[in-house]
């Protein structure tokens, strides 16, 4: 398989995978739903454990957005199952989402997840895929840095808000330092529209107009 990941705006590649919840066809089994597929370097590692606990604690919030979670690493399915049991027993946290067992590394290779210079270990990749199976957001972190799961959740909310309202979301939305929870109106496409926007109340200029949803 080609060692590259699908680009934003491309369809997520079809794949049949073995998971802790049985065999899954991705994205086919998630038709009509958004999903977040995230890779981790290995089971039974501290940073990955903290990430899985955080994803589990935010799982219901993702579900409210019609968004499912899917974990992935090169470990075999029995390792995933034992790790999930360990997290339940030792940390009292239930992992409600499936974890792909990519022990042959084929999924990681097809998505460009293999970490250069670190053997078969994967980077901490996140693919946010919409209800039509199209990749909308990609996040990559090195092994040493755990991800912010609230940021992944925020990104899904922002993308869905942008789609539904044909707007853009500012930095740190909905807590932006300039405009709070307001969203940004797309820039004008002609001089007439630009002139109409000059001096309107909710703006910094004709190219920076915002509004409350």
For this structure, is 48 an active site residue? yes
DSSP 21: T
Identified catalytic residue from 36, 48, 125, 135: 48
Cβ-based neighbour number of residue 8 at 10 Å: 12
> How many Cα atoms sit within 13 Å of 172 on the Cβ side?
6
CA distance 213 to 210: 10
Among 167, 171, 207, which Cα is nearest to 189's?
A: 207
Among 42, 51, 118, which Cα is nearest to 80's?
A: 42
Q: Hey, CA dihedral for 57, 58, 61, 66, is it positive or negative? A: negative
- 35-to-65, 117, 188 alpha-carbon distances in Å: 10, 29, 33
Which residue has 């926007």 as its token pair?
197
CA distance 178 to 158: 17
Among 11, 212, 18, 3, which Cα is nearest to 103's?
A: 18
Annotated catalytic sites, by residue?
48
């Amino acid at each position: 398989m080609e060692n590259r990941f699908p680009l934003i705006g491309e369809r997520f590649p079809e794949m049949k995978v073995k998971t802790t919840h049985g065999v899954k066809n991705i994205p086919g089994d998630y038709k009509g739903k958004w999903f977040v597929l995230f890779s981790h370097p290995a089971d039974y590692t501290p940073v990955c454990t903290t990430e899985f606990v955080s994803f589990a604690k935010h799982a219901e919030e993702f579900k409210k957005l019609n968004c499912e979670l899917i974990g992935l690493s090169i470990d075999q399915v029995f390792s995933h199952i034992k790790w999930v049991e360990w997290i339940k027993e030792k940390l009292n946290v239930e992992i409600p989402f499936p974890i792909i067992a990519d022990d042959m590394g084929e999924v990681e290779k097809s998505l460009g997840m293999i970490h250069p210079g670190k053997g078969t270990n994967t980077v901490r990749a996140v693919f946010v895929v919409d209800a039509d199976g199209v990749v909308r957001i990609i996040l990559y972190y090195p092994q040493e840095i755990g991800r912010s799961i609230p940021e992944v959740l925020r990104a899904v909310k922002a993308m869905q808000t942008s789609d539904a309202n044909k707007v853009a979301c500012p930095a740190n939305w909905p807590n932006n330092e300039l405009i709070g929870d307001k969203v940004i109106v797309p820039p004008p496409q002609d001089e007439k529209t630009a002139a109409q926007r000059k001096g309107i109340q909710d703006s910094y200029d004709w190219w920076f107009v915002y509004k409350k949803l």
